[in-house]
Structure 1
Amino acid sequence: MRFETLQSIFVRSVAAIVVMVAVSMSTLSGQGAPPAQGRQGGGGRGAPAGPPPPPPDQAGHGSGKLVIWGDLVDFSRPGVSPRCFATNRFKRGQRAGFRMTAIDGGTGETEFSAQMVVHLTYGGQQIDIPMRWRGVGGFPAAEYPRQPTEQFTAVWEVPADAMVGTFAYTVTATDKFGRTTTFNPFPNHLAHFSIVE
């Protein structure tokens, strides 16, 4: 009886290992595959890529206010560590990332039709940086527990000769229903976009 129990445990253990190896191999082989047709990917952040296809119309949208908010992040290219962390302090040559989301106030759902633009006041001029909807996937699974569908992003590479200081920015949005809104960061200048040594 004891031999049969040990034999049963051994067989189950071997079966579990075989299943784990099969799943691991399937996952690893899929990571090297090209992006699926119609999906974003393959170019990384900031790489020239066409806009994602528009999502289908969302029932009930356009019934409330358009609400947007977001943050500033380090958008260093893959291979740089750490990267993709929240910060408002950037050095010359660093890729400053703007992440936003747009919400339909009537449904509480992401408003995919929003067109957003970052307006950065720098050197006495306004720099307009269009944002891109990133809701079609293609995000690294190791970094994202789920594929975000609510994310809009923009990148501005801080010039090598950039002046040090704190700079104002806003983000404006318009959707297909004609609703408009503006995001302003907190009024405390310590939360504003900063270029540091």
Structure 2
Amino acid sequence: MRVRVQQLVATFVVFVALMAVAVVSTSARQVAGQAPAAAPAAPPPPPEPQAGHPSGKLVIWGDLADMSRPGTPLRCFNTNRFRRGQRAGFRMTAVDGGTGQVENTAELVVHLNYGGRVIDIPMRWRGVGNFNASEYSRRPSEMWTAVWEVPADASVGSFTYTVTAKDRFGRTATFEPFPNNLTQFTVIE
């Protein structure tokens, strides 16, 4: 028993030391007095098609998330319930069904049924340009994102949405969440 306690204490000490090194190395990368980086420019166009594409159907899927600004506790947290003024995020992936690889030539658009009309929200492919290394362990090359800020006068309720995709080979796909109203885009008080 005593040996086990000593092992646990030694493991804890090593863990604390590693965490201290990680904090020091992270803060050492920040330059004192340096202004934060400017907002990234528009991303460049997607790269050329990958070898072997197209070899199957275009497949897309995704989810909804809180896309609040950095520093917000629930940022990037999966949810379908949003308050007025909140940044609602749509995250999707597009894959060549034959190879299982990301189809980086796909263009995706969210179609949100809101207020008696359809709002088209183009999605941005995240595989190029800058990405926040403190949030991502690697470049999120399999992700497309779109943000829609819920209007201050938004009606409370559920709203349907779909996402469509088309790649440079002419393949198309449509994503629809489950038809249960509880899974739809929802504005709450």
Establish whether TM, by shorter chain, passes 0.5. yes
> What count of residue pairs does the alignment treat as equivalent?
168
Equivalent residues in 2 for 1:14-163, closer than 5 Å: 24=25, 28-29=29-30, 42-43=38-39, 49-136=41-128, 138-163=130-155
* Residue aligning to 2:186: 194
- What stretches of structure 1 move > 3 A for 4+ residues in a row? 32-35
Identity of aligned residues (%): 67
Verify the 8 A CA contact 2:48 2:105 in the aligned structure 1.
Answer: no
Deviations 1:40-72 (A, max 9, x none): xx427xxxx423332232000111000000000
2:165 to 161, 173, 182: 173
Secondary structure at the aligned position of 1:73 is classed as: strand
Q: Which amino acid aligns with 1:113?
A: T
What secondary structure is seen at the aligned counterpart in 2 of 1:96?
Answer: strand
CA shift at 1:106, angstroms?
1.1
| Deviation (angstroms), 1:141 | 2.3
- 1:84-143, Cα deviation, whole Å (9 max, x unpaired): 110000000000000001000111000010011000000110000011101125332222
Give 3-state SS (helix, strand or coil) of 1:166's partner: strand
Which residue identity does 2:39 align to in structure 1?
Answer: G
**Structure 1: runs of 5 or more not aligned:** 1-19, 36-41
TM-score, normalised by the number of residues in structure 1: 0.77
Pairwise CA RMSD: 2.6
Report if the CA contact (8 A) 1:52-1:133 is conserved.
Answer: no
Letter in 2 for 1:161: D
Partner Cα separation in structure 1 for residue 169 and residue 148 of structure 2:
29
Contact 2:177 2:184 in 1 (8 A): yes
Structure 1 residues 121 and 28 mapped into 2: Cα distance closer, same or farther (>3 Å)? Answer: same
**Structure of larger gyration radius:** 1
CA distance in 2, matches of 1:53, 1:78: 26
- SS for the counterpart of 2:139 is coil
Which AA in structure 2 matches 1:43?
Answer: A
What is the letter of the counterpart of residue 107 of structure 2? Answer: Q
SS in 1 for 2:140: coil
Structure 2 CA distance for partners of 1:139 and 1:33, relative to 1, 3 Å? farther
Unmatched 5+ stretches in structure 2: 1-20
User: Given residue 123 of structure 1, which amino acid in structure 2 is its aligned partner?
Assistant: G
